[in-house]
Amino acid sequence: MGDLTANFSRSEFMCKCNKCFNSNIDVELVDELQECRDDLNQKYKNVKCEVKSGIRCFAHNEATQRKNVPGYVAGSSKSQHMPDEDGVGHGADVQYTYETEDGEREIINPIEVHTWFDGRHSHSYGLGLYTNRNHIDNRRYRARWDKR
Ligand SMILES: [Zn+2]
């Protein structure tokens, strides 16, 4: 049970700097992450979505860039993970998984997730493809990148 949607809780999106404790994620984005999870759950068994990175405050975003942590997009001056002027973050890095016949957890191909969001938000959203995860943000204009 989540406190934002059926499966997502605010704490999952909290900045990992351990100082700002900002977990103010845009609920519209979380609604879409939930909708995608629900759709994938029709096709795969016991789908879960792990938030790898949610809010990143300025200090934490700088730190992730220095460490070259996956998720940093070279050349992007302002990450959608960073809170806007109202303190709200609009981006998350997520990994959708399902349960195999053997009871193992497998990663759902990020292309499938990417395609799902692209189909619903063809003129907006920032969608980044990575080997084992997706970046998804609900910016008002279209941005796409492939870092696999
Ligand atoms: Zn922080």
- What's the start-to-end Cα distance of the chain, in Å? 32
> How open is the CA angle 10-140-85, to the nearest 5 degrees?
55
25 alpha carbon to ligand 1 midpoint, in Å?
Answer: 13
How would you classify the pairing of strands 48-53 and 126-129?
Answer: unpaired
Closest by Cα among 66, 68, 92 to 79: 92
55 CA to centre of ligand 1 in angstroms: 7
pLDDT range class, residue 67, cuts 50, 70, 90:
low
Mean pLDDT (the chain, rounded): 92
Query: What whole-number distance in Å separates Cα of residue 7 and Cα of residue 19?
Result: 26
* Of 51 and 71, the one with more pLDDT: 51
Q: How far is the CA of 30 from the centre of ligand 1 (A)?
A: 19
Cα–Cα distance for residue pair 134/127, rounded to 1 Å: 7
Predicted TM-score (pTM) of the model is 0.91
- Give domain limits for the chain: 10-146
pLDDT digits (tens, 9 = 90+) for 80-112: 999 999 999 999 999 999 999 999 999 999 999
Ligand 1 centroid–CA 79 distance in Å is 13
- Asked whether 50 and 42 are in contact (CB, 8 A), the reply is no
Class of domain 10-146: alpha beta
pLDDT tens readout for residues 12-64: 999 999 999 999 999 999 999 999 999 999 999 999 999 999 999 988 888 87
The pLDDT of residue 74 is: 45
For 82, residues 6+ apart whose C-beta sits below 8 A from its C-beta are: 55, 56, 57, 58, 61, 89
How far apart (Å, rounded) are the C-alpha atoms in residues 81 and 89? 5
Token readout for 105 is: 């957890």
Q: Above 60 in pLDDT, residue 72? A: no
